[in-house]
Amino acid sequence: MTPERVHEIVDAQRRFFRSGATLDPDWRVAQLKKLKESIAFHRSQILAALHEDLGRTDMEGYLCDVGAVLLELNETLHGMKVWARPEKHFSGLHCFPSVRTKVYKMPYGVVLILSPFNFPFMLSLGALIPAIAGGNTAVLKASSKSAASTAVLRKIIARAFPEEYVTVIDGGHDVADMCLAARFDKIFYTGSPRVGVHVMTEAAKHLTPVALELGGETGNWCVVRKDADLKDAARKIAFFKLLNSGQICININQVAVAREVADEFLKLLRAAYEKQIGIDPLHNPEYPHLIGRKAYDAARADADAYRDRIVMGGRGDPETLRFEPTVLYPIGMDEEIVQRELFNPLLPVVPFPDAEADRLMDKIAEREHGLSLYVFTKDRKWAEKVMAEQQFGGGCVNEVVLHLMVRGVPFNGTGHSGMGAYHGEWGFREFTHPKTVLYGSNRFNLSLREHPYTGRLADLKLKVLKLMER
């Protein structure tokens, strides 16, 4: 890939967009159906690639990537034509007689989707679906870390679409920079806050609007109060940290547990891990592995740095890139390891006095906004207060991750965890811009807006205008 080749692709897509072919909602539906057919055709290859890249079983691959993409596709196919209809508005008496206004949902044009390795199909196709629904053309820059998945993604897209409409570009950071140097009409990036800053910097050179879905610089918190159902909390937290070996942007980065129940919680957490993955996860074929040696070495280094506080796990296998679910306890609220995103199976546990739960939430609020927040408690009033007041992307009370699967609601971040939103109609809105058009009339025109602005006639005009503003 060269900068010239990138520009050639973007120019071809811009010509195709300007042909007007993508503006027809029926045509967009047909393209989404082609994508769905291509995913079905390549399903076995998708699952095999996920196993090769991340060590996932077919069940986990389907749950996290294939099934999630199909849910998004079906919701979009069901609602897209309604979402795409122009909105009709009454212009108001102050615009009389031009009382008819429409808001058109317009595509941006040529969009760039920068997707990560951890969910190589859900986080690429999941953004492509609303881009297509919105009437855009798209360039997918897929991750070079998940090479097998990127190869299959290229096949999926090539089977469904011509290059001048949708295409996949492979490569590392150098290729991503080539794409960012080209002029796109919209950029959608999923990844780290550090790279998100770079994406915004490059986009600003062309005043290109961006959507960012970031992991959260200081990690996502889970808070377990002393009145929580500890067994239920432990079961769900263990499941979530096992999923994709912790390589999930909305995963729990650290757990704050009421000191009064911390020992019991840790016992239940160990039992939950062992029930779900066994006592030797390094040799369990169901346990996913880390994406590469760099990620493995980072997990290894963190575990070694806190070796004296490992209460579970701590072993790894550099050959298979598996690292055990590892629990660190006790960890202080201000220690370095709970002030950054881990993106691996390590789980620091921070004890706190339950009576100081509000103070804990204040300290969390002082840090960069997470992409998610999870609380386990029977005190629904306290939980609703936290969820209503705390700044974060989204989350759950007495549950984990499932907010991501709810139809009709947005998935988004805020601050260092991102900007913009997608999924369902929210994704359609993200990839379109509203264009307001008033349809004027040349009959019964009033002269209220015209000169003179002084004298007796002006006083009458002003009274009428004030009356219309009510």
The tens digit of pLDDT for each residue in 427-448 reads 999 999 999 999 998 888 777 7
Do 311 and 268 fall within a single domain? Answer: yes
Is pLDDT of 452 > 90?
no
Count structural domains, the chain. Answer: 2
Residues 77 and 207 in one domain: yes
The answer to whether residue 449 sits within a structural domain is no
CATH of the domain at 274: 3.40.309.10
Residue 340 near residue 193, CB atoms below 8 Å: no
Flag whether 251 is in a domain. yes
Q: Do residues 233 and 202 both lie within one domain?
A: no
Please check whether residues 265 and 387 belong to one and the same domain. Answer: yes
pLDDT in tens, 405-431: 999 999 999 999 999 999 999 999 999
Whether residue 59 sits in one domain with residue 23:
yes
Q: Does 297 map to a domain?
A: yes
Asked if 99 and 47 sit in the same domain, the reply is yes
Residue 249 known to be catalytic = yes
Decide if 465 is inside a domain.
Answer: no
* Residue in 202, 249, 341, 396 annotated catalytic: 249
pLDDT tier at 458, thresholds 50, 70, 90: confident
CATH of the domain at 45: 3.40.605.10
Pairing of strands 326-328, 346-352: parallel
> Could you list the residue range(s) of the whole structural domain that residue 248 is in?
221-367+370-407
Give the mean pLDDT of the chain. Answer: 96
Q: Are strands 100-107 and 432-439 parallel, antiparallel or unpaired?
A: antiparallel
**pLDDT > 80? residue 470:** no
Within a domain: 226: yes
Residue 160 shares a structural domain with residue 232 = no
The tens digit of pLDDT for each residue in 57-101 reads 999 999 999 999 999 999 999 999 999 999 999 988 778 888 999
Considering the domain architecture, whether residues 180 and 301 belong to the same structural domain is answered as no
Q: Is 372 left (phi over 0), alpha (psi -120 to 50) or beta?
A: beta
Residue of 60, 72, 202, 213 marked active site: 213
- Evaluate whether residue 443 is within a structural domain: no
Q: Tell me the pLDDT tens digit for each residue of 266-286.
A: 999 999 999 999 999 999 999
Judge whether 347 and 316 are in contact, CB under 8 Å. no
Whether residue 52 is found in the same domain as residue 155: yes
Within 10 angstroms of residue 159's Cβ, the number of other Cβ atoms is: 14
Percent of the chain with pLDDT over 90: 90
pTM above 0.85, yes or no: yes
Identify whether 100 is part of a domain.
yes
In a domain, 196, yes or no: yes
Q: 192 with 319, same domain?
A: no
Q: What is the pLDDT of residues 374-404, one digit of tens each?
A: 999 999 999 999 999 999 999 999 999 999 9
Token pair for 323: 């690292």
Q: Are residues 79 and 199 in the same domain?
A: yes
Residues 144 and 96 in one domain: yes
Cβ 392 vs Cβ 416: under 8 Å: no
